[in-house]
Amino acid sequence: MTTTDDNATNRRLRLLVGLVVVCGLVALTAALADLVQNWRPFEPFRVALTCLIILAKSSGVRVRIRSSNVNLSTETAAVLMASTVASFGWVVIGLALGVLIANLRARLPLMKLGFNVAKGSLTATAACATMIAFGAPPVDPGQLTGDLPGHLIVMPLAAVVHAIVDESLAFPVIALATGTSIRQRFVEHWDIRVISGAAGLAMALGATAIMTVDRWLVLGLSPLLYTLHLSSASRVRNREERAAWQRLARTTDELNAVELDGVLHSAARRAAELFSADEVDVEVHETRMPARLVRGTDEEVIYDGRPESAPPIRGSVIAVPLESHDGDTAIGELRLRFHGKVTLTEREQYTFRTFAAALCTAIRNASAHAETRRLAESHALAAAQDPLTGLANRRRLEQYTTELLAGPARGVTALMLLDLNRFKEVNDTLGHSAGDKVLIEIGRRLEAAAMPGDLVTRFGGDEFAILLTDLPAPPVAVPRAQALLATIAAPMDLDGMRISVEASAGVSVADGTADIAELLRRADIAMYQAKKSGQQVTRYAATRDTADVGSLVLGGDLARALAEDEFIVEFQPIVDLGTGEVIAAEALARWSHPDHGELPPAKFLDAIERSTQLAAFAESVLNQALSAAVTWRAAGYIIPVAVNVSPRSLLDPRFPDSIEAGLRRHGLPPEALVLEVTESLMLSQLEVVDEVLGALRAAGIVLALDDFGTGYSSLSTLARVPVQELKIDRDFVSGMDSQAEAAVVRSTVELGRSLQVMVVAEGVESEDQRRRLWELGCPAGQGYLFARAMPLNALLAALARGFGGRPGRLAGPLHEAGEVVRIPKRPRNGNQRLDRSS
């Protein structure tokens, strides 16, 4: 409550009290006038009645309501009895004296004293007026016998009027002074007031009847009045104590809340209700939290904040430290605030200390719970958050993705997994502190570029994962991933230097069957393929997935398959596009698995790459290829055999020696073998790769660069690697209808002509493609147009059968005899793959 509200309340209270006092003075004046007018010589009996009235008023039961005390007395019995035999003046003056004496004993303030005297005068006046108005005026005790029935009939009505006037005057003032409702004042202790009033009426009726026998017998009512007083007092106190303990029990139950705010707010409001305080302060200075003050009434919390910022309040304060019954260190203070002077009873003091101890325990429990919850939240955050970047971690990604996939469909969901390229160089050159700054900046950029609903996570090291949500269609995943990569590719300032960081990413699209583990596996495969091919983003394709469970099972069969010669080699012819003549054959491995049938290379090559069986597998394929070359050379077909080489083999310095040993074992010249190396990161800047390739070339072995144009830094690789053949990837050949793809093919052919190296087009499947390639100047090709991969016997039969009656050809020529055609230049270094006689 604000100071302005207090001032307004005080003004209304003074106005109401003043009005009652003025009316009381009028009643006292009328009583004095009646007393003077009807003055009689000293009458001991009337003096005794006056003393009885004073005693009845002085022996009331006091009930405290906040800062005010309400007196429940037996004055009704005395007033009604006296009004039958004493004049109006005697009764009013006698009651006024009783009120005055009782209030002086209680040392009440002048305003309260004046109000109580005025109220008593008005209630006595109302009772006497009712008796007179309804034909029961005061009579001499000796004449009461004849008028007794009339007095006994009117007295109940006078008692009701007395009670109505008394409570109508008292309760509005009490409610205004204590800030409570008038209804609450009327309801509280209503049953005790009714019983006490009925007992007083019965006593008055009995005393009046007794006076008809002997008026002095009425003085024997004093013990009865005192007994009634004790009975009422006992009932009121018992009820107050019972209600107080019940409220204490309910309040301490409410203090068992685990939220500190709830404990403090409940304590402030319930303490105000429990101890009938105007306001309650709960001040806490527990070590684990800042100092705090909560102030409230029985209806609401009016302040919650720093103690020094709380508005000052006038009035009396009763305080107790917040400490347990064991007397441990206090954590604050509980204060009851009253607008006036209040003293707690012994029972209230004990209840106050008990409540404070319970509150202390509740605060400590709530504080401990808050600390436990803070630690739990901190641990949960740490468990779901990357400590360096503040991004979500793998655990959070798995949880979020699982929830998203289990919920209602909201567009297409995809997972993007990215790995920074050459990030190790940043750490090695600038230090790990600089590397951490780069990771933080990349995380910030990714999170800023992500769409609402996306989740950016760091997996650790230089790997990040982004869950892309609410995509309109699966193909949109790749452009979204490219846009995210573009944000991290922009230069960044790092300790005064501008650096750029690039990344490779794989994208897997949720298809309704894959869980988070499968999405991660697919994205990882796609990312590996992106790095391997030198592309920025690769989307997962099941047709290129060699890391599935089946591949893992096959990996366990490799040793047995090699021991039992399950790996076989088939051969796909390479044809002169102009003449249709076979100029070479590429060896392609197949696995004749006893359970799974014949498996293509895509199903097992990656498993071999990751296994310890690579060398044995390569030797098996090489031996079969060289044996086949010996066979067809013996049949008169002097064509080389092309064998694919694993990038891992190029890391082995002993690899050239093993190749030469194989050639010697089969009695073949070096030019009878073409080794096809795939363009990849393996051919980037590794010195050992350069040494191996140089040794192979020095031995006279032909080197071919497979899938040219799809890999890592194609032109720089071509400048470093001593290749004699370029093989155009089948994707460019199949897409020649596109200007861009046709331009790549044309450029590759021109590059081969400039470098005087053989150019072979892969995936030639139609005569139109053959002719267009030939017209562009591409001399050779392979594909289904000419022949699929076939066993050695089938190849020998095809060569012998020939085309158009000419052995060694698989297609007719593109030009007739005498026709002017453009003939590609022969390759350098004596490579004669277009000439069978070489």
- pLDDT single digits (tens) 703-728: 998 877 665 445 666 767 788 999 99
Q: What pLDDT does 289 receive?
A: 72
Q: What pLDDT does 440 receive?
A: 92
DSSP 312: P
The H or E element spanning position 471 is strand 463-471
**10, 122, 151: which is closest to 67 by C-alpha?**
10
Return the structure tokens found at 274. Answer: 């429990």
Higher-pLDDT residue of 72, 508: 508
Residues of the chain with CATH 1.10.1760.20: 3-221
Question: Which of 516-520, 597-601, 661-665 has maximum average pLDDT?
Answer: 661-665
* CB atoms closer than 10 angstroms to residue 541: 12
Question: Which of 153-162, 435-444, 674-683 has maximum average pLDDT?
Answer: 435-444
Q: At 206, which amino acid appears?
A: G
**256, 194, 200: which is closest to 80 by C-alpha?**
200
Mean pLDDT along residues 700-705: 92
The CATH code of the domain at 255-376 is 3.30.450.40
Beta strands in 566-690 (DSSP E): 567-576, 582-593, 597-599, 641-645, 673-678
Q: What pLDDT does 113 receive?
A: 85
Is CATH 3.30.413.10 correct for 3-221? Answer: no
Contacts of 601 (CB under 8 A, 6+ apart): 588, 589, 590
Q: At 759, which amino acid appears?
A: V
Residues of the chain with CATH 3.20.20.450: 567-798
Mean pLDDT along residues 150-168: 84
Alpha-carbon gap, residue 161 to 154, rounded angstroms: 11
From residue 404, alpha-carbon distances to 75, 392, 418, 738 in Å are: 78, 15, 21, 40
Long-range Cβ contacts of 604-612 (<8 Å, 24+ apart): 604/546, 604/551, 604/554, 604/558, 605/546, 606/546, 606/547, 606/551, 607/546, 607/551, 607/552, 607/554, 607/555, 607/558, 608/558, 608/646, 609/646, 609/647, 609/648, 610/555, 611/555, 611/558
Alpha-carbon gap, residue 95 to 75, rounded angstroms: 8
CA quadruple 173, 179, 185, 189: dihedral, nearest 10: -120
Return the structure tokens found at 465. Answer: 């994962």
Alpha-carbon gap, residue 380 to 371, rounded angstroms: 14
Quickly state the pLDDT bin for 260 (edges 50, 70, 90): confident
SS3 213: coil
The region of weakest confidence among 79-83, 135-139, 755-759 is 79-83
Quickly state the pLDDT bin for 586 (edges 50, 70, 90): very high
Q: What pLDDT does 734 receive?
A: 86
The region of weakest confidence among 163-167, 471-475, 607-611, 830-834 is 830-834
The torsion angles phi and psi of 708, rounded to 5 degrees, stand at -65, 140
Q: What pLDDT does 232 receive?
A: 56
Higher-pLDDT residue of 717, 641: 641
Higher-pLDDT residue of 328, 58: 328
User: What is the number of alpha carbons within 13 Å of residue 815 lying toward its C-beta?
Assistant: 13
Note whether 590 and 818 are within 8 A (CB). Answer: no
Please indicate, yes or no, whether the overall pTM of this predicted structure exceeds 0.75: no
Residues of the chain with CATH 3.30.450.40: 255-376
Q: What pLDDT does 443 receive?
A: 93
Note whether 525 and 545 are within 8 A (CB). Answer: yes
Return the structure tokens found at 334. Answer: 């509980």
Tokens 């007992």 belong to which residue?
199
pLDDT of 631 > 90? The answer is yes
User: What is the number of alpha carbons within 13 Å of residue 503 lying toward its C-beta?
Assistant: 27
Mean pLDDT along residues 732-752: 86
Q: What pLDDT does 481 receive?
A: 93
Higher-pLDDT residue of 5, 88: 88
**657, 642, 699: which is closest to 833 by C-alpha?**
642
Higher-pLDDT residue of 218, 528: 528
Mean pLDDT along residues 554-568: 80
Is CATH 3.20.20.450 correct for 567-798? Answer: yes
Q: What pLDDT does 825 receive?
A: 47
Higher-pLDDT residue of 730, 817: 730
Q: What pLDDT does 482 receive?
A: 92
pLDDT of 356 > 60? The answer is yes
DSSP 789: -
pLDDT of 829 > 50? The answer is no
The region of weakest confidence among 19-23, 176-180, 222-226, 257-261 is 222-226
Residues of the chain with CATH 3.30.70.270: 394-545
Return the structure tokens found at 448. Answer: 């800023």
SS3 588: strand
**407, 417, 490: which is closest to 448 by C-alpha?**
490
829: left (phi over 0), alpha (psi -120 to 50) or beta: left
The CATH code of the domain at 394-545 is 3.30.70.270
**115, 118, 110, 150: which is closest to 133 by C-alpha?**
150
The per-residue pLDDT for range 678-690, each reduced to its tens digit, is 765 445 556 788 8
**734, 751, 353, 791: which is closest to 569 by C-alpha?**
791
In the chain, the N- to C-terminal Cα span, in Å, equals: 111
Q: What pLDDT does 364 receive?
A: 82
The torsion angles phi and psi of 763, rounded to 5 degrees, stand at 75, 30
From residue 301, alpha-carbon distances to 67, 244, 267, 525 in Å are: 19, 21, 10, 61
Using only C-alpha atoms, the chain has a radius of gyration, in whole angstroms, of 54
DSSP 421: T
Return the structure tokens found at 462. Answer: 């230089």
Walk across the sheet containing 316-321 and list its strands: 301-305, 292-296, 279-284, 332-338, 316-321
Higher-pLDDT residue of 522, 112: 522
DSSP 141: G
Quickly state the pLDDT bin for 649 (edges 50, 70, 90): confident
The per-residue pLDDT for range 36-47, each reduced to its tens digit, is 777 665 566 566
From residue 695, alpha-carbon distances to 642, 650, 654, 745, 829 in Å are: 18, 11, 10, 30, 16
562 exposed, middle or buried (CB, 10 Å; 0-12, 13-18, 19+)? middle
Q: What pLDDT does 681 receive?
A: 44
Higher-pLDDT residue of 691, 69: 691
Q: At 353, which amino acid appears?
A: R
Note whether 188 and 175 are within 8 A (CB). Answer: no
SS3 57: helix
Quickly state the pLDDT bin for 248 (edges 50, 70, 90): low
Return the structure tokens found at 373. Answer: 């919850």
The region of weakest confidence among 219-233, 389-403, 423-437, 691-705 is 219-233
The torsion angles phi and psi of 673, rounded to 5 degrees, stand at -125, 130
Question: Which of 200-209, 536-545, 755-764 has maximum average pLDDT?
Answer: 755-764
The per-residue pLDDT for range 95-115, each reduced to its tens digit, is 788 778 877 877 778 888 888
